[in-house]
Structure 1
């Protein structure tokens, strides 16, 4: 599915945060598995940003879900016997979010409030 939400007006635009956790790996570090997931996300065409304990991901709901599914498949293919994922997804219908900027705008809003109050 295209990351362009304009292809389906009924599709909700999703702003998500997910933490993919490979289980049953030979090493305590899971960085190689997370790097594989990031490669999958690069190919998805969606806006994403990795952080210390997960990844922000945004785009049409279906595409976001498909990208997380593809990450699971890729991490299993890399050898992880089990994969657990915590997902938080937000949507809103009161205003349109510019594609790829939902998370950045949320952070900017809080930073602006902090600047005003200092």
Structure 2
């Protein structure tokens, strides 16, 4: 599966970069493939591991003092073939270059 996760700490300061950096540290520790972008992070892996990583991000941000978190999550799964995040990007780049 591939997800797009956007974690928004609430009840904190206007800048949330420290909280997001902590989520990235959590993801680094999972061994999952992930890519941060300007408004979230794409994460790929098996269902249970990815959802455990989302939970761990929430737990870490709460531990930092955020009393509330609002997250958006987009989930993509496939059963017809295996496809990584990079595969999806490569297909579009091939079309752009042809």
> What is the alpha-carbon distance in structure 2 between the residues aligned to residue 96 and residue 36 of structure 1?
30
Paired position in structure 1 for 2:31: 45
**Partner secondary structure for residue 107 of structure 1:** helix
* Alignment TM-score, normalising by the size of structure 2: 0.96
Higher CA-based Rg: 1
**Following TM superposition, where does structure 1 have runs of at least 4 consecutive aligned residues deviating by more than 3 angstroms?**
none
* Alignment TM-score, normalising by the size of structure 1: 0.81
Paired position in structure 2 for 1:10: none
Provide the aligned length of Structure 1 versus Structure 2.
98
2:97 aligned with 1:110, yes or no? no
What are structure 1's unaligned runs of at least 5 residues?
1-13
The equivalences for 1:85-100 within 5 A come to: 85-97=71-83
What are structure 2's unaligned runs of at least 5 residues?
none
> What is the alpha-carbon distance in structure 2 between the residues aligned to residue 31 and residue 21 of structure 1?
10
Residues 83-104 of structure 1 show CA distances to partners (whole Å, capped at 9, x for unaligned) of 111001111111123xxxx111
